[in-house]
Amino acid sequence: MKKFGLLIFCLLSSYASLSDNLTVDPFASVQWEDMRTAFLQGEAVQFDGRVKVKTPSFAENPMSVPVTVDATQLANVEKIIIFADFNPIPLIARYYPINTEAKFSFRFKIQQSSPIRAAVLTDDGIWHIGGAWIDSAGGGCTVASTGRLAGDWADKLGKVYGKRWYEPNKNRIRFLIHHPMDTGLVSGIPAFYIEELSFMTEDGELLAKIELFEPINENPVLTFDFNANSPTSTILLIGSDNNGNEFSAEFEP
């Protein structure tokens, strides 16, 4: 009987330890609770290895750090929020994968070494958190865009260059949008950035939407994986920035 009781105690202790591990920040960031309150409204979270955040461990170019977020191991994903704890503007993007894979790639500006996190909301109301630590010499958010320094950014503003192709079980789109993506943290240059991009079918069905914020890099390069059964017809991209400029593109099959 004593052995049985000891076994039960050990199982309960292991379960409690596992539960603690799911809710304790693996990066021990002093900013984590503030980030949780600001972006997740203090709702239920668990740190989840199924949310993959792939990025270099060191930001060689702090103005353009590549990141891939992959939450395809989770079912029924409703929203993905990306943020960096120690950036002066932490919020990077909100993604709504309506009829796409819960996976996308982007580049962003980092100001100093920081965790970058992906918070993935599933339909049960739980936020699943994944992340990676990026070391950086910093300064990416407080430098003027190269286009502004060259003085020709307005000539190409909003132009889109992209490609659509098929892989096994994937329908992928990658594109670049010319835009300075100013953070507003450089003296004399106000915040000027793309706010929203939406993907639609020719019939007007919304496939995905992403909201972008100041830390996204200049001339953003974005990659999205649509479901294998997503439309084989033209996919339309429409977007706008915080100054009311609108732009669009078409991606043929």
Residue 48 has a pLDDT of 98
Residue recorded with tokens 């915040």: 191
Asked whether residue 107 is assigned to any structural domain, the reply reads: yes
Q: Count of CB atoms within 10 A of residue 251's CB?
A: 20
SS3 content of the chain, % helix, strand, coil (to 5): 15, 45, 40
Domain assignment of residue 21, yes or no: no
CATH number reported for the structural domain that contains residue 57 in this entry: 2.60.40.2470
> Kind and range of the H or E element at 95?
strand 91-96
Look at residue 10 and tell me if it is in a domain.
Answer: no
**Tens digit of pLDDT per residue, the chain (253 long)?**
444 444 443 433 333 334 446 889 999 999 999 999 999 998 999 999 999 999 999 999 999 999 999 999 999 999 999 999 999 999 999 999 998 899 999 999 999 999 999 999 999 999 999 999 999 998 999 998 888 777 778 889 999 999 998 877 778 999 999 999 999 999 999 999 999 999 998 888 999 999 999 999 999 999 999 875 655 688 999 999 999 999 999 998 7
Give the residue numbers spanning the domain of 124: 26-251
Which pLDDT score is estimated for 146? 85
Q: Does residue 64 lie within any of the structural domains?
A: yes
- The pLDDT of residue 229 is 60
Distances (CA, A) of 41 to 20, 44, 89, 116, 164: 20, 9, 17, 18, 36
Q: Which helix (H) or strand (E) holds 149?
A: helix 146-150
**pTM metric for this prediction:** 0.89
Start-to-end Cα distance in the chain: 68
Counting beta carbons within 10 angstroms of the beta carbon of residue 122, is it exposed (0 to 12), middle (13 to 18) or buried (19 or more)? Answer: middle
6: in domain = no
Tell me how many domains the chain contains.
1
By CB neighbour count within 10 A (0-12 exposed, 13-18 middle, 19+ buried), where does 136 fall? buried
d(CA 33, CA 64): 27
Rounded-to-integer distance, Cα 237 and Cα 105, Å: 16
Question: Does 81 reside within a domain?
Answer: yes
Is the distance from CB of 252 to CB of 164 less than 8 angstroms? yes
In a domain, 12, yes or no: no
Q: What per-residue confidence (pLDDT) applies to 99?
A: 87
- CA gap 194, 199 in Å, rounded: 15
